[in-house]
Amino acid sequence: MALLELAQELIRIKSISPKDNGCFDVIENKLVDLNFDVQKINYSNVENLLARYGSSGPVFCFLGHTDVVPEGPIDQWSFPPFAAEVNENILYGRGAADMKSSIAAFMIAAKEFLKLNPNPNFQIWILLTSNEEGEKEDGKIDKIIDDLTQEGKFIDYCLVGEASSSNIVGDTLRRGRRGSLTGYLKVIGKQGHVAYPKKVINPIHLSGEVIRILSEEVWDEGNEFFEPTSFQISNISGGTGATNVVPNSLDLVFNLRFSPESTADSLKNRILEIFEANNLNYEISWVKNADPYFTKDNKFIDTIQKAIKKINGSEAIIDNGGGTSDGRWVAPMGSQVVELGPLNKTIHQINENIPIHDLEKVKDIYLQILQEVGTS
């Protein structure tokens, strides 16, 4: 199996979340050939694959996902999104950067590593899911992590193959991610004719001041590794459509990306205090999409930096920005979780791509990481 062909084979499978759609069959066949013990674990609407090699020593786990986001308007793509075409040494397709290339790169890295080291002093696991990008209701990999914990199994080092790099492969890695909290707010007023202002309570006017306070609030200062918590309103709607009617209520959706200096509960409490202080009549519901996570221990980071330095000549910078990732499910085990993968310039976009040179470099870095883990 060759790297480019494997990446292409995976991209050609239209595996939109939460469907794996057969990627795992391709992966399973190839990993069985490399003497991995492969299990497929399905529940809810999600499919998962856990492949294990070796039975003693610390567990190194590559974590990834085969699902992709929808391709969007197909006529805007220069190359069909599921054709995996190569043009001027660039591989195009949905999943080329996020993250089928990383999966292919790790599989080839494992193959090359095991050829030279058939009995490594650590265990190699590959844990993949078909619903990283999609909705929580369809199932996430947290259940597998819970089951492993119940069985007394532990992941020591977890490498997440998400596209972390900015300008060159390996220039940026993540050792944590912010949390995400969404609030669905309904501000309740009193409907009536605009010509009788004393007889109405205008929820739009009431919201103005509260929005100003929320958007100017300093939630925390962040820390050495995290930006301060940020608040953004993503949706607002109110009004009956008529120009002469004050509506009864206004709906507003907001989201906080929060650093480990805050918690979902501390943020909720502060927001409710602001509502109370402004005598707001409201209803609210919350969805906590993710808690923040952060790898404090330096051992695995140092190992990865050593590998990156050998390939790139310099270490990666550490940036814990970006959205959420499946690393958040593994981190609570106490694992050292690091995210490292290709450039994130084109992820989720039209014409998502990876230069072939980058694809090979991701593989080189992953191979070097395996070698460093073996000697650390």
20, 47, 71, 98: residue in contact with Zn ion (rule CB under 5 A): 98
Q: Which stretch binds Zn ion (CB under 5 A): 40-48, 142-150, 155-163, 308-316?
A: 155-163
* Nearest of 107, 131, 125, 104 to residue 48 by alpha carbon: 131
Rounded least distance, CB 326 to Zn ion, Å: 8
Cβ atoms of residues 193 and 245 within 8 Å: yes
Pairwise CA distance, residues 324 & 313, whole Å:
29
Nearer to Zn ion among residue 68 and residue 206 (C-beta): 68
E-strand ranges in the chain read 37-43, 46-53, 59-65, 86-87, 90-92, 123-129, 157-160, 172-173, 176-177, 179-188, 192-193, 230-238, 245-246, 249-258, 282-290, 293-294, 317-318, 336-339, 353-355
Q: Contact between 99 and Zn ion (CB under 5 A)?
A: yes
Residue nearest to Zn ion (CB): 98
Rounded least distance, CB 186 to Zn ion, Å: 33
What count of residues does the chain have? 376
Q: Contact between 103 and Zn ion (CB under 5 A)?
A: no
Which position among 20, 71, 98, 132 bears the catalytic label? 132
Per rule CB under 5 A, count of chain residues that contact Zn ion: 3
Q: Which stretch binds Zn ion (CB under 5 A): 19-27, 92-100, 173-181, 329-337?
A: 92-100
Q: Contact between 67 and Zn ion (CB under 5 A)?
A: no
Please confirm, yes or no, whether 67 is among the known catalytic residues. Answer: yes
What's 228's DSSP letter? Answer: P
Which position among 47, 67, 352, 358 bears the catalytic label? 67
Nearer to Zn ion among residue 159 and residue 267 (C-beta): 159
Cβ atoms of residues 145 and 328 within 8 Å: no
Give the binding site for Zn ion (CB under 5 A). 98-99, 162
Active site residue ranges: 67, 132
